[in-house]
Amino acid sequence: MHSPSRNLKRIIFVVLLVVIVFLVSTVRLFVWPPSDTPSRVDAIVALGGDPGQRRMKSALQLAEAGYAPTVVISLGGDPKVRCPRTTKGIEVICFRPNPVNTRGEAEFVARLAAQRHWHRIIVIPDRTQTTRARLLFKRCTRISLEMVPIQDDLSQLFFGVPYEWGALIKAMVFNRSC
């Protein structure tokens, strides 16, 4: 029979191990997720739901720098967000996803990419959204993806990380299709 102090040490060890694995996973998945260096692609996709429209601005800046001739912008569910006007010969396609979430955006972009015979796109998510967006876009399309997240404030992590844990679990367990 084991002594109570030996059992307590095992419990503490297991709890610490679980906490460490959780923290390392959180950092890897949501704080510093795998991301890509942008290269020349067929289109740049800005995900919606961004009150400051930083994703939209980043997508347009990359297009103006010559990374793609087309920018696809999700306007999310906010009726106040409008499609921007651009110059420099960049085609801008705006849409409202249905459903109004990242999966709806991935579905729309997959249909558009198939219609236009695109081979490579850049997707602009938030930092915390990158892992889940990559998962959903890979489910919906076979084209090559480059994830180039905006570098949002670290203060966003406080709300973004718990939300993304829930949304990632939902995408992996309950909504497994495109």
Domains of the chain: 43-174 (3.40.50)
At 114, list the tokens: 């198939």
- In 24-158, the DSSP E strands lie at 43-46, 70-74, 91-95, 120-124, 144-147
Under the banding of pLDDT at 50, 70 and 90, the label for residue 2 is: low
Mean local confidence (pLDDT), 32-38? 96
- Amino acid in the structure at residue 73: I
Mean per-residue pLDDT over the chain, rounded:
93
At 110 the pLDDT is 98
Task: Output Rg (C-alpha) for the chain, integer angstroms.
Answer: 19
Question: Could you give the CA distance from residue 45 to residue 158 in angstroms, rounded to a whole number?
Answer: 26
**17-31, 73-87, 163-177: which has the minimum mean pLDDT?**
73-87
- What is the per-residue pLDDT across 108-150, written as a single tens digit (0 to 9) for each? 999 999 999 999 999 999 999 999 999 999 999 999 999 999 9
At 87 the pLDDT is 72
CA distances 23 to 29, 129, 155, Å, are 10, 17, 17
Half-sphere exposure of 44 (CA within 13 A, CB side): 29
Query: Count of residues for the chain?
Result: 178
* pLDDT reading at 4 higher than 80: no
* pLDDT reading at 96 higher than 80: yes
At 156 the pLDDT is 83
At 153 the pLDDT is 78
